[in-house]
Chain A
Amino acid sequence: MTKYKINLILALVFHLKLISQNFNFDSDIKISEEFRYFFNDPSFQGQEDFFPSYSLTPKFNIKFNDNNIIFRGFFRHDKDIRRTHVDLREFYYQTSISQYDFSIGYHQVFWGVVESNNLVDIINQNDAVESPFGNDKLGQPLSKFTYSSKNTGIFSFFLMPFHRKIVFPGKKARFRFPVVLNRNFIKYEKNNKKLKKDFAFRWNHYFDIVDIGLSYFNGNGREPIFNRNTFMAFYPMISQFGLDLQLTFETFLFKFEGIKRTADLQSFYAQVVGLEYTLNNVNGNGLDIGMISEYSYDDRGALAVNSLQNDVFIGTRFNWNDFSGTSLLVGLLSDIKYNSQSFSCDFSRRFKEVYKINLEFQYFLNIDSRELLLPFFINDHFFKIELSQFF
C-alpha cells in the first residue's frame, strides 16, 4: 500500500516536472490612440464632431503540454460613454487529446470566405459601438468540442449559455438613432428567464481547389427584427443553415456564402457571390493588387438590417509586401435597387517595428430614404487616424 502511494507520488512529481518543462508564458499589450472627426454637422441634438479616444488590448497565453489558457481583453475610453467599454474578447481554457479538442470560455469565432458581408458568421455579437460596420465582435461565452482530421475535415460543436445584446451609442455619438436607445430596448422573443441556450455546428474541409463549410445555428438570433412603424425590435428565436464555398483557381478566387434563416415572424434567404483577382508583384518589387467584386442579395429587401439587400461591393486592395507591411483598401458599396452609395478607404503601415498607423475614411455619397436604418447616418461621414504601439 505504502509502496503504491510512493509510486503515485513519484508519478505525480514526474508529471509536474513534465508540465514545468513544457510550461510557456507569453504576454503582449497594444495601446492605441484614436481620433475620429465627423466633418458634417450632426443630424441629432447632442451629437458631437470630434472624438479623441484610446484603447488597450492586453493579451497573454499560458501553454503547458496540450493545455492552453488564452486571454485577450479590450478596453476603450471615448467621449461617448457607451463607447467607453470593456470586453473579454477571448478568455478560455483549451485542452487536446490527439485529434479531439475541447475548450471553454469567451471566444471569437469566424466563419466565412467573402470580404464585404459575412453572412454565415453568427457566433459572436457585433461590437457596434467599436465599429458600426466593422469587424469587431464581442467575446461569446461558449463551450466547444472539435474533431479535426486531414482527411475528413473539421467538425465543431458549440454550446452557448448566454446571449449578448448589441450595445447602442450614447447621446454624444454618431451612428445613432434620433433617440438614445439602451440595451434593454431590444427584448427577447422568448421570456428572459427561460432563455433557451444556443447551439451551433460546423463542418469545414477542402478538396483540391474547393474549400467548403456547412453550418447550422439554433437559438437566439444575433440580429434583431425591427418593426419600421412602431420602431420596436426583438431578438427572434432562429434556426439558420449556412453554406460557404471558395474555389481557388491560382490568382482567381470564386466565393459564395448563403444562409437560410427561419423564425416565427420572418424567414428569409440571403447570399453573397464574389470574385477576387490578384495581380502579383506588379512593380517587380512585391506590390500585389487585388480586385474584389461582391454581390449581396437578401430576401428581406428593405427590412435587411445591414441594408445589404441588393448591393454590389467593388474594392481594390494594394499590398506592398514591404518592410513596413503597407496596405490600402479602397471600396465602393452601391445599392442596385435604391440610390445609395458609400465610399471607404483604409490604409495601414508599420514604422519603427513597434508602431502602426491606421487611416480610415468613410463617405456616404448618397443614402436613399427608403433604406431601413441608413438614413439616420446620412451626416456621419468620418475620417479616423489611429496610432498604435505594441509592447
Chain B
Amino acid sequence: MKKIIVILLLIQTLNLFSQSNEKLGFEIAQKAVLMDQGFKSLSTKLKMTLKNRNGQTSERLLENKILEQVEDGDFSLIIFNTPKDVKGTATLTYTHKIGPDDQWLFLPAVNRVKRISSSNKSGPFMGSEFSFEDLASAELEKYSYKFIAEKDEFKIVEAYPVDEKSGYSKRVVYYNSKKNYRVEKVEFYDRKGDHLKTLRYEKFNLYKEKFWRADVFIMKNHQTNKETVLEFSDWNFDVNFSRDDFTQEALKKAGN
C-alpha cells in the first residue's frame, strides 16, 4: 500500500514537472513573439544561395514585404527576381493562427493570379533546403512546446507542430534570453525522429531599438549534405504598408 502511494506521488510529481516544462516552453516562445511585436511593416531584399553536395552553387534574388497583424497571422508578399525565367512570379499570403493560410500565386507570363493550396508544408521552397513551413510567419499557435534545458544565455525549447502535414516531428529552438529572446538556432527532426536539418542565424542587427534581425540564415541538411544560405539586405521598417497593399491587384503589380 505504501509503495503504491509512493509510486502515485512520484507519477504525480513527474506529471507536474512535465506540465510545468510545457508551460515554461510555451512562455518562452510567447515571450519571443511578444518581444517582437509592434514592427508593423517591413520590406527586405534577400539572396538565396543553394549549394549542392559537390559545392556547386546557384543564386536566387527575392523581395519580401510583410504587414504585421495582431489578431490573426501576418500578411506577406514575396517577389522573385531571379532565375530570370520566373522573374516577376510572386506570392501573396494571409497567414492564419489556426487553420490553413490563404495563398495566391502570380504568374507573369500569362498575367494570371491563382489561388493555391497552402497545405504543402514540407515541400522545398524553390529547390532550396527551406521548406514552405520554415519560411511561414512564426505564429505561436502552430506548435505546442516543452522547455528542455538552459545553457548559458540560451533557453532550449522543443516545439511540436500542430499540423499533421508538417514535415517535422519536432523543432529544437535556441532562444537567447539576454537578447530579447531572439532565436539563434533551430534543429529540425523529421517524422521518423531523425535529425534532418540545422538552421543558424548570424550577423544580428538591432532595429528600432527593439527588433533583432539576422542578416544571414544558414540551413544545413545533414541527410543530404546540401546547404542553403539566405542573406538579407535593405531592411526597411519605415515602409508603412496598409492592408490594401496586400490585395491580388497589388500582387499583380508587384510582379510586373
Q: Does B20 contact A (CB under 8 A)?
A: no
Cβ–Cβ contact B115 & A28, under 8 A: no
Partner of A286, one of B86, B119, B127, B250: B127
Q: Does B58 contact A (CB under 8 A)?
A: yes
Partner of B83, one of A68, A211, A354: A354
Question: Roughly how many angstroms separate A110 CA and B113 CA in the complex, as a whole number?
Answer: 8
Cβ–Cβ contact B83 & A350, under 8 A: yes
Partner of B117, one of A70, A208, A250: A250
Cβ–Cβ contact A150 & B247, under 8 A: yes
Cβ–Cβ contact B110 & A353, under 8 A: no
A206 contact set on B, CB distance < 8 A: 102, 115, 248
Q: Does A299 contact B (CB under 8 A)?
A: no
Contact digits for A221-252, partner B, Cβ 8 Å, 1 yes 0 no = 00000000000000000000000001010111
Contact digits for A107-122, partner B, Cβ 8 Å, 1 yes 0 no = 0111001000000000
Q: Does A325 contact B (CB under 8 A)?
A: yes
Contact digits for B80-124, partner A, Cβ 8 Å, 1 yes 0 no = 001111110000000000001010000000111111110111111
B167 contact set on A, CB distance < 8 A: 281
Contact size range, B: 35 or more
Given A150-B246, A280-B122, A286-B124, CB of A251 within 8 Å of CB of B85: no
Question: Roughly how many angstroms separate A248 CA and B86 CA in the complex, as a whole number?
Answer: 24
Nearest CB of chain B from residue A353's CB, rounded to whole Å: 6
Partner of A154, one of B117, B121, B165, B248: B248
Given A146-B249, A148-B250, CB of A325 within 8 Å of CB of B86: yes
Contact digits for A345-358, partner B, Cβ 8 Å, 1 yes 0 no = 00000100110100
> Which residues, 187 to 210 on B, are CB-close (under 8 Å) to A?
none
Residue among A109, A204, A280 having the largest count of chain B Cβ atoms under 10 Å:
A280
Contact digits for A91-126, partner B, Cβ 8 Å, 1 yes 0 no = 000101011010000001110010000000000000
B127 contact set on A, CB distance < 8 A: 286, 321-325
Q: Does A2 contact B (CB under 8 A)?
A: no
Q: Does A253 contact B (CB under 8 A)?
A: yes
Cβ–Cβ contact A150 & B243, under 8 A: yes
B124 contact set on A, CB distance < 8 A: 285-286, 321-322
Q: Which residue of B lies closest to A391 (CB)?
A: B84
A322 contact set on B, CB distance < 8 A: 124, 127
Nearest CB of chain A from residue B199's CB, rounded to whole Å: 18
Q: Does A307 contact B (CB under 8 A)?
A: no
Q: Does B244 contact A (CB under 8 A)?
A: yes
Nearest CB of chain B from residue A127's CB, rounded to whole Å: 12
Question: Roughly how many angstroms separate A250 CA and B103 CA in the complex, as a whole number?
Answer: 11
Question: Roughly how many angstroms separate A323 CA and B48 CA in the complex, as a whole number?
Answer: 12
Q: Does A23 contact B (CB under 8 A)?
A: no
